Amino acid sequence: MTFDRKDLTNNQLLDLYKKILKPRLIEEKMLILIRQGKVSKWFSGIGQEAISVGVTAVLDSDEYILPMHRNLGVFTGRNIPLYRLFSQWQGKANGFTKGRDRSFHFGTQQYKIIGMISHLGPQLGVADGIALANKLSKNGKITAVFTGEGATSEGDFHEALNIASVWELPVMFVIENNGYGLSTPTNEQYRCENLADKGIGYGIESHIIDGNNILEVYNLLSDLKASMIEKPRPVLLEFKTFRMRGHEEASGTKYVPQELMDMWAVKDPVENYRKFLIENEILSADFDATLHTEIKNDIDESLAIANAEPEIKPSYNEELEDVYQQYNFELVKPDLKTENIRFIDAISASLRQSMERHYNLVIMGQDVAEYGGAFKITDGFVAQFGKERIRNTPICESAVVSVGMGLSINGHKAIVEMQFADFVSTGFNPIVNLLAKSHYRWLEKADVVVRMPCGGGTQAGPFHSQTNEAWFTKTPGLKVVYPAFPYDAKGLLNTSINDPNPVMFFEHKQLYRSIHQEVPTNYYTIPLGKAALLKEGDTVTIISFGAAVHWALETLAKNPEIAADLLDLRTLQPLDTEAIFASVKKTGRVIIYQEDSMFGGVASDISALIMENCFEHLDAPVKRCASLDSPIPFTKALEDQYLPKGKFEKELLALIAY
């Protein structure tokens, strides 16, 4: 191995040695603790330290890094106190996740490190979002994100590279090509000669680097960083290295040929660099011994602190309180001045006024810029707010949701428009595993609204007509809003954008141009989690949301003798159980009316809640009225049969007569 010091001073060379030695000594201590049964799981980065240490040394302390399992050098390079790392690994309170996640599955704004999730790929899109925020802020900052050769097969990898290329985002995509994804060798994972070649397809500059040579890593990345500041762009970096331990210690390395282990053993990044420094009289044996002693003492003292720390005591209240970031709702009252507008106009007005109110708000989606979106909701926005904030995206829902998370991490707000709610399935993972869990895992907000044009009645067929709110209402950490009227749509969307938690905002397509209402022209807010009582009566309670609210109103207009409480939920998560229970206790009869299919829908959970909390007040069984348990069809006759409109009146009358 050849080391080229270029113009680095002796002090700089020694500083890199200290940085690469520290994670190695921690690793060696962890292996001892594993053999002693004091640590249950460990993902070793022995043999790969030069990459994480080199990347971290090049970036400024306020530049974000998104590491993975084997990047201990990122955490030590940012000088996180070791006792906090040991507490994190032991699931104690001085860690970063309150015992809710393990090892390196955490982030910290204090040290500008955004921890991984086990799905790997989405963190690449998060890096895009962080870099986009940097670019919008014009602060000249670079973002680095790590992945392994295995994750380059994931769709999120390709989506993130494509977005970064199209938007010219200053991201270093760091691939640690260490030979194996758990036990699967690289020749069973991809067929191109080098992973760096994948950059060609995205028009991205790429480099192949000896990942075991700390000076090659540091020098090349230093030059690249300076160049990326001068000319912002993404760079794909393939670091050739090897994983000398198992995927995690329990899996071992029996599947690796011994000759391969022997070949890479002589390329050890720490030992070779030490040898270079000693041979060039930059490092003395005495100083080396002193460094070893100082680091080992720090390790032992930090372990003692972590070991002495008490185990976490579970608390129901604390667990539930941390699912969402606390949000102090700000009531902005509507003016008396109104205009009669459609549902779609109310959505557009909310977006426009929110863009004016929040300078850091970015709207992203397919065709949302000059074209104005599939439903023309953002028509004219580019002229007012510019293409930096109204951003057309490639067709890659998963990465765009992750970009929204990255924007949130780096001080922005994001709105992601799904062209149709059905298409959210390709962005499902980062919504339910990233947005929803981030605050609970490490107290990081996910200030993202996902707009969901949904619903049937337009003969659009199985791929453009679903009302899929139940996919998300059961996921802790998400808020789900589903208005039925223009007034509510504007006020609730304003609140959703203000809320720092992730919100799935459902907009029924059939209501866009069919429903008109007097709506205040000014900016105003409506609290989430408060249902609206549209009609009052003492005979029966009708609970509904979305388009089904209007279908219920039609039925009641046809049957004026029915004295019903009609409750429009407006928000499904949080759910206004107080209003639900109060109405049911008053009437003694309840029917829940939803457009979604029956099994597993929101109505099922509401029914269970009523049975558990209002049973003694009921005079009849709780009824649910919903669509067929089938995909939604295209032809009008079939769609009419699918939707619950044709049977609601009969079921309502039967319930009253029970």
Helix (H) or strand (E) holding 338: strand 338-342
Burial per residue of 190-206, b for 16 or more beta-carbon CB atoms within 10 angstroms, e otherwise: beeeebbebbeebebbb
Q: Where are the alpha helices (DSSP H) in 499-565?
A: 547-558
Cis geometry, peptide bond prior to residue 483 (ω within 30 degrees of 0): no
Token pair of 177 as six digits: 């090509």
Question: Are the C-beta atoms of residues 455 and 508 closer than 8 Å to each other?
Answer: yes
**Cα dihedral sign, 39-44-50-51:** negative
Question: Are the C-beta atoms of residues 141 and 228 closer than 8 Å to each other?
Answer: no
How, if at all, do strands 532-535 and 564-568 pair?
A: antiparallel
Token pair of 398 as six digits: 């998963």
| Terminal alpha carbon distance of the chain | 86
Q: Is 464 a catalytic residue?
A: yes
The closest alpha carbon to 74, from 103, 112, 37, belongs to 112
Helix (H) or strand (E) holding 237: strand 235-240
- How far CA 148 is from CA of 186, 220, 239, in Å, comes to 11, 20, 10
The closest alpha carbon to 23, from 96, 65, 85, 93, belongs to 85
How, if at all, do strands 590-597 and 623-627 pair?
A: parallel
Strands, E assignment, 49-97: 65-66
Q: Give Cα 351 to chain centroid, integer Å.
A: 22
State the SS3 of 101-116.
Answer: CCCCCCCECCCCECCC
Q: Give Cα 134 to chain centroid, integer Å.
A: 18
Question: Are the C-beta atoms of residues 486 and 311 closer than 8 Å to each other?
Answer: no
> Count of H helices and E strands in the chain?
24, 21
Token pair of 287 as six digits: 């100083």
Token pair of 220 as six digits: 């090349």
- Residue type at 361 in one-letter notation: L
The closest alpha carbon to 129, from 501, 359, 398, 399, belongs to 399
- How far CA 286 is from CA of 28, 239, 282, 291, in Å, comes to 21, 33, 12, 9
State the SS3 of 285-315.
Answer: HHHHHHHHHHHHHHHHHHHHHHHHCCCCCCC
State the SS3 of 133-193.
Answer: HHHHHCCCCCEEEEEECHHHHCHHHHHHHHHHHHHCCCEEEEEEECCEECCEEHHHCCCCC
Catalytic residue among 69, 158, 464, 550: 464
The closest alpha carbon to 354, from 381, 391, 393, belongs to 381
Work out the number of other CB atoms within 10 angstroms of the CB of residue 1: 17
List own/partner pairs for 198-203 with CB under 8 A and 24 or more apart: 198/152, 198/161, 198/236, 199/161, 199/236, 202/158, 202/161, 202/162, 202/164, 202/165, 203/165
- Residue type at 237 in one-letter notation: L
Provide CB contacts within 8 A for 259, sequence distance 6+.
none
Q: List the catalytic residues.
A: 464
